[in-house]
Structure 1
Amino acid sequence: MTDAQPLSFFARLGLAFSVLGDGRLAARLQALRNGAAPVEAVAPAATPAPVTPPAPAPAAVRATANVDAALQLLAALQREARFVDFLQEDIAAYSDAEVGGAARMLHGGARKVLQESFDLEPVRTESEGSRLTLPAGFDASAVRLTGNVVGQAPFTGTLQHKGWRATAVRLPALTEGHDARVIAAAEVEL
């Protein structure tokens, strides 16, 4: 067996998010880590054609999006976490430790903005990893089905992520003449 090339930071980060979102993948990686032989995926003999879950009723189309609110949130993330600076920076030349230090600062500031601006609650209250059954007519805008979706509800599966729902939003009112498009003012030291 040949040694694989090391993955870049972002490739590892993407893999980490894949493992967090897919319990089966996490179990297979854990088995590999514990020295078990890799399990090859076996295609089922015959599978019925996938059926798309019921689509939610189309939401009323809003005349315009509230761009100012999005810009306010982006400005708050920049002010507290230097979010835009972090994402605009080419971090390929930095070590994982340096990126990790920056991510810790970004996390603290972004978390502060999130807590000051929103009240959040999980969409589902069951523990992640628990089995649950979704009845016919479940809210397809609040629950996304993944995996082998076949047939009609009720669907029984494993909760991979609880989801999040905003129960309150607190963004300050804009003052007259404020240009929300300026996310962070340029700084000139005299």
Structure 2
Amino acid sequence: MEGVSPATEDPHTRAALEGYRAGALRWLVGGVIAVVLAVLLGAVAISLAEDRGRPVPLAGLVVVALVSGGVVSAIAGLGGLARALRWSRALRAVSWQRGLLRIAGPAIVAFEPEGYDEWDPDDEPVRLRLVSTSVWRTRQVQDLDGGEVRAAPVGSGQWVLTAEGLPTLFGARTARRRR
């Protein structure tokens, strides 16, 4: 382990948490803007339809798409903000563990903490499944294969990963090993 100081005392951790929060906030604000635009577009479409005596082509479809996408985006943003808050609280109580990251599949990684001995049959790496649903975030972690990362447990079977130079955090859950 890196020491006894909480992970949140590290400036990189604070910056990564802020980066994660900023991304979540962008999703939330983007979703709200989409819903507001849908309401405005709907009002304009109704006004035009009343003036012209016929409906505006595709306006209803666009309004439904904006509302649907906006609601999904806003929910994703709220979830990200809640996750950032939970991670922040958890990282105040634990310190980072340094180790190597090994890629075991598209979203499966193995974290080998400092002191891990691959020849010791009783020593197991921490097997994790990334919780990100975006391809670019998964690829960003995959690019760290064989590199040094920092990881910390943030709940029952949940971990957070980061590395020097990364402006964000990555969430993962403990993965069961296939037999």
| TM bin (shorter chain) | under 0.3
What TM-score do the two structures reach when normalised by structure 1?
0.23
Q: Name the one with the larger strand percent.
A: 2
Q: Name the one with the larger helix percent.
A: 2
